[in-house]
Chain A
């Protein structure tokens, strides 16, 4: 299957470089020139009409998010680009930053103009040293051409972009945690209510936080119009998605397709070259490590939002927001993790738990105490001390976390556990039994593991 690239149109194209001359040669900044002549509210209307949904994970319509903005407060409005891409399995934003930074800058300036922000921030993940350098360079290039800074292109509109590096914490991708970090504090997410960013965001001012890919989409919405953009994909699932495929496929990588243009099976077999020879598909995590896992031999039955009934095997699931939500998972940040039958599910969950226990900010009780507890349980199971009741215990702990925390990290950490137990409980129990019998035979209970 051929990719249909929109945002990644030039990325990896031969001879395409990340400097501004190359970008301008390919028609760059034409949309910004167009945008500053438009009325800001018209751009907002186009974005709403496009139906574009947030690409960071939650899939919330960007136009609706902008509408929440408190414009009457008289306080400055800020735009923040969330470039803290740190969901395991996701690696799309860094491609944009590394290979086409001016697309992001143009998208940001168009968005900033639309919401009338005079100052925008790019909060970039601390580990992206190279991306930070490239962005700083690109901003200076744009400034030299009066595409950024005071009185952009003589329009009277001024906006600057500040790049801020994170210090290496997953929680900084949570928008209120990001704002705290940007203010110079520990990235402890804020309580909502009252601290909704659209009203009380950065420095208690109205703030919009959007993902890198979402902001790039804005540029294309201005280019083709909201109406035309909404024709890409299916209603409610508009635009393209960049699927970051990793795991047990022959050709892992990033692939851009319109929403619902292909099924999960097509993505695995036609796009990514299928599994390694002799292996069978066991499970898929479709939207970054926090999304719920799908089992290969499941049948997914139910009704979509529009009422159509479906009865899918795992390979029939269309790759879009609503279909993946309908099968009980989510498209999240687009990080598709493929697992074949060589995967030990207990070890896989132990690995995920290790990550979330390490990244919990420690502010609120259920997440701070519950997630490391789950990590300790799965680590113990891998170390040869598994008990048959551990599966139920893990599920119980996860239930006590999900929905009771300050931010969505609680769900992000609980969903993998809940779904692994729901779908692979037999393997957890089996592990305990196998260890017990090995112990009885006088052998070491634990088998070799590859835990980090």
Chain B
């Protein structure tokens, strides 16, 4: 089955209405397509079917046929009879087939849900007032929707461990666990780190790690995300904030070229957590644990917070003019960054063209894990290529830069977000040239720079990245940056205006995209509004044939980098 509608459509009868659904889809997803919710706990569209929660019980019937002849059996009105299954079936394991009849809100279905809800609650601690999951808890929601509202249970509840430390980032409350096994299946099937399992039997079944192991893999926090109740909690987030106070902002993970779609949860300018956002073409519903911590460095004291020219705090406008003046002198080398957004890279290219500067780029690489952490540890290498900022993949080192400085052919350096070591330079090299530094953190380069331009984090600005599959994805500002800072694209636009001796005027990202969309190339005809929330697959042309560093991972195949295998079993 594919997302682009090539799958065969069949007709089923859903609660008395004939509807079209893709063949082979399960009943939960088929009903969802037509606005009917079949409640479920253990079913997850990206995991194998367990069928253990029994919440998705529905009635299923097939048109009756004579066993011997295969002829349809008709009723008195000449309509084929429906043979209803004597027992309710689970929606998650019931794949639709032509003519199938489903009842998702009949009396017996409601009774079944009511029964399951009552059973799940009898041994549940009912500690919603102190539970982190409250507000995003399936058990809480479905109890309100399908429960009886009072308890018939007067016996003693089971007692289980309340705060099992499963690993460095996950803490388990076993009393809240409904034993849906999502976390167990995730560990086996996605993280490929089989450490979780149940011990004991029956009502005393308890989730735990295998002896001597811990849930320490880089995907452990996904188990917290998919836990339908408050059993698995993030040790970092636990007891910090009620989820309904948090603002959700769509963002993109900058950890690697995978570009996992994320949601940033913030309140009053402070980020509390980052969770994955479903995108079947990029990250399914997962993200790395390490990617969730990326907002923390920006809370450090090492952050650059002021525009400075020759060590003196200046306004952005004055700083931009000073930078333009230095650049206008020529002999410029730009050390750009694959961490910059598409928009910033576009403006840097304009600056490079205006000043006839040479542009190079430092690559950041590490080991890939074959899942959602690729070898290229920058979010936007392909953006730099598509923008024409660089023509080829960056070289292993910038050894020529030092010799160019020594030879006097480079007199000005515009460095984006790099330290001395990665540049292959020493402080004495910097003393021979004028340095414009654009970055978020203070380092040896910023300390020796004539002009320092503090940059905003991905959480503090709007922009877009192009991921490993040439998917253009946009992100939005979740929290304000340090007081007085404007986005780099706004600042660089002022530099461009200064170089052209135009009146600098600030404009937003939409206007900037109007300009990007006018250029030839892959971005032609695009504008900010045209980039959908789920991203836009670009046709990279010849650039796709470059020898990229990524090896096979969840959604990337080096053999056909543009094709993404999408299992859209649950759209």
Chain A residues with a Cβ under 8 A of chain B: 169, 186, 188, 191, 193-194, 357-366, 368-373, 376-377, 380, 393, 396, 399-401, 403-406
Are B51 and A365 touching (Cβ within 8 A)?
Answer: no
Beta-carbon contact of A362 and B115 below 8 Å:
no
Do the beta carbons of B202 and A393 come within 8 Å of each other? no
B38-80 at interface with A (beta carbon < 8 Å): 49-55, 57
Closest CB of chain B to A398's CB: distance in Å? Answer: 11
A362 B179 Cβ-Cβ under 8 A: yes
- What is the CA–CA distance of A399 and B204 in the complex, to the nearest angstrom? 22
Chain A CB within 8 A of B88 CB: yes
What 18 additional pairs, Cβ within 8 angstroms, besides A366-B119, A368-B202, A400-B118? A191-B50, A194-B93, A360-B202, A360-B203, A361-B201, A361-B202, A362-B202, A362-B204, A364-B53, A365-B53, A368-B119, A368-B205, A369-B120, A372-B202, A372-B203, A403-B87, A403-B88, A406-B52
B155 and A373 form a contact (CB under 8 A): yes
- Residues of B near A358 (CB, < 8 A) are 201-202
Q: Is the CB of A369 within 8 A of B57?
A: no
Given contacts A191-B93, A404-B88, A405-B54, contact A362 B201 (CB under 8 A): yes
Q: Name 29 interchain pairs, CB-CB below 8 A, sorted by A.
A: A169-B201, A191-B90, A358-B201, A359-B201, A360-B201, A360-B202, A361-B202, A362-B200, A363-B179, A364-B54, A365-B53, A365-B55, A366-B116, A368-B202, A368-B203, A369-B119, A370-B115, A372-B202, A373-B122, A380-B155, A393-B152, A400-B111, A400-B112, A400-B119, A404-B88, A404-B112, A404-B115, A404-B116, A406-B51
Interface residues of B (CB under 8 A from A): 49-55, 57, 86-88, 90, 93-94, 111-112, 115-116, 118-120, 122-123, 152-153, 155-156, 158, 178-179, 198, 200-205
Are B198 and A373 in contact, with the CB atoms below 8 A?
A: no
CB of B182, distance to nearest CB on chain A (Å): 14
Chain A residues whose CB sits within 8 angstroms of the CB of B120 once the complex forms: 365, 369
Which single member of A365, A370, A380 contacts B52 (CB below 8 Å)? A365
Residues of B within 8 A of A406 (CB): 51-52, 54
Closest chain A CB from B89 CB (angstroms): 9
Q: With A186-B198, A403-B88 as known contacts, state yes or no: A191 contacts B119, CB within 8 Å.
A: no
Task: Report the Cα distance A400→B112, complex, angstroms.
Answer: 7
User: In the bound complex, how far is the Cα of B158 from the Cα of A188, in angstroms?
Assistant: 21
Q: Are B54 and A362 in contact (CB under 8 A)?
A: no
Residue of A nearest to B158 (CB): A372
Q: How far is the CB of B184 from chain A (nearest CB, A)?
A: 11
Instruction: Give the residues in chain B near A401, CB-CB below 8 Å.
Output: 115
Which residues on B sit within 8 Å (CB–CB) of A370?
Answer: 115, 119
Docked Cα-Cα span, A401 to B158, in Å, equals 19
Q: Which residues of A contact B200 (CB under 8 A)?
A: 362
Given contacts A368-B179, A376-B156, contact A404 B52 (CB under 8 A): no
Residue from B51, B112, B116, B198 in contact with A191 in the complex, judged by beta carbons closer than 8 Å: B51
Q: Look across to chain B and name the residue whose beta carbon is closest to the beta carbon of A406.
A: B51
Contacts of A400 in B (CB 8 A): 111-112, 115-116, 118-119
Query: Nearest 10 pairs between A and B by C-beta?
Result: A400-B115, A369-B119, A362-B205, A376-B155, A191-B51, A360-B202, A372-B203, A403-B87, A362-B202, A364-B52
Give every chain A residue within 8 A of B179 (Cβ-Cβ). 362-363, 365, 368
Interface centre among A358, A368, A371 (most CB of B within 10 A): A368
The answer to whether B153 and A373 touch across the interface, beta carbons within 8 angstroms, is yes
- Shortest C-beta distance, A66 to chain B (Å), equals 19
Give complex CA distance A399, B119 in Å. Answer: 12
Q: Tell me the minimal C-beta distance from B43 to chain A in angstroms.
A: 11
Q: Give the complex CA separation of A186 and B52 in angstroms.
A: 14
Known A-B contacts A404-B87, A405-B54; the reply to A365 vs B116 at CB < 8 A is yes
* Distance, CA A169 to CA B155, complexed state (A): 26
Is B155 a contact of A377 with CB atoms below 8 Å? yes
* Chain A hits for B93, CB < 8 A: 191, 193-194
Residue of A nearest to B206 (CB): A362
Cα A6 to Cα B66 in complex, Å, equals 39
Bound-state CA distance A305–B111 (Å) is 32
Hey, which chain B residues are within 8 Å of A376, CB to CB? 155-156
Question: Contacts of B205 on A, CB cut-off 8 Å?
Answer: 362, 368
Give chain B nearest CB distance to A181 CB in angstroms.
13
Q: A residues within 8 A CB of B201?
A: 169, 358-362
**With known contacts A186-B198, A191-B49, A373-B122, A366–B90 Cβ distance under 8 A:** no
**Contact partners of B156 in chain A: CB under 8 A:** 376
Q: Are A369 and B122 in contact (CB under 8 A)?
A: yes
B472 → A minimal CB distance (Å): 40
For B116, what are the chain A residues with a Cβ–Cβ distance below 8 Å? 365-366, 400, 404
Interface centre among B116, B120, B152, B202 (most CB of A within 10 A): B202
Query: Which chain A residue has the least Cβ–Cβ distance from B204?
Result: A362
Residues of chain A within 8 A of B153, CB atoms compared: 373
Interface-central residue, A193, A363, A372, by most chain B CB under 10 Å? A363
The minimal Cβ–Cβ distance linking A418 to chain B, given in whole angstroms, is 14
CB-nearest residue of chain B relative to A192? B93
Judging by beta carbons under 8 Å apart, are A359 and B88 in contact? Answer: no
Docked-complex contact B119 and A365, CB < 8 angstroms = yes
A406 CA to B200 CA in the complex, in Å? 19
Least distance between B234 CB and chain A CB atoms (Å): 26
Residue of B nearest to A194 (CB): B93
Q: How far is the CB of A183 from chain B (nearest CB, A)?
A: 15
CB distance A369 to B123 under 8 Å?
Answer: yes
Q: Enumerate chain B residues within 8 angstroms of A186, measured Cβ to Cβ.
A: 198
CB distance from B538 to the nearest CB of A (A): 40
Q: How far is the CA of A238 from the CA of B355 in the complex (A)?
A: 98
Cα-based distance from A405 to B122 in the complex (angstroms): 18
Contact of B202 among A191, A357, A404 (CB under 8 A): A357
* Residue with the greatest number of chain B CB neighbours at <10 A, chosen from A188, A400, A404: A404
**Which residues from chain B contact A188 at a C-beta distance below 8 Å?**
52
A170 to chain B, nearest CB (A): 10
**When chains A and B are docked, how far (Å) is the Cα of A319 from the Cα of B49?**
42
CB-nearest residue of chain A to B199: A186
How distant is A73 from chain B, measured CB to nearest CB, in Å? 19
User: B119–A362 contact, CB under 8 A?
Assistant: no
CA distance A363 to B51 in the complex (A): 9
Closest to A358 in B: B202
Q: Which residue of B lies closest to A372 (CB)?
A: B203
A385 to B171, CA, bound (A): 38
**How far apart are B138's CB and chain A's nearest CB, in angstroms?**
13
Question: Nearest chain A CB to B501's CB is how many angstroms away?
Answer: 72
Bound together, the chains give a CA A404 to CA B158 distance in angstroms of 23
Decide yes or no: A362 and B178 within 8 Å by CB, A403-B87, A404-B88, A404-B115 being known contacts. Answer: no
> Which of B57, B120, B155 has the most CB atoms of chain A within a 10 A radius of its CB?
B155
A400 to B51, CA, bound (A): 17
Q: How far is the CB of B53 from chain A (nearest CB, A)?
A: 6
* Chain A residues, Cβ within 8 Å of B111: 400
Q: Which residues of A contact B87 (CB under 8 A)?
A: 403-404
Decide: B122 and A404 in contact? CB cutoff 8 A.
no
Chain A residues with CB under 8 Å of B57's CB are 404
CA distance A253 to B57 in the complex (A): 43
Looking at the assembled complex, report how far the CB atom of A193 sits from the nearest CB atom of chain B, in whole angstroms.
6
Residues from chain B with Cβ under 8 Å of A372 in the complex: 158, 202-203
- A368 and B90 CA atoms in complex are apart in Å by 17
Q: Taking A365-B54, A405-B54 as contacts, is the C-beta distance between A359 and B119 under 8 angstroms?
A: no
Query: A373 CB to closest chain B CB, in angstroms?
Result: 6
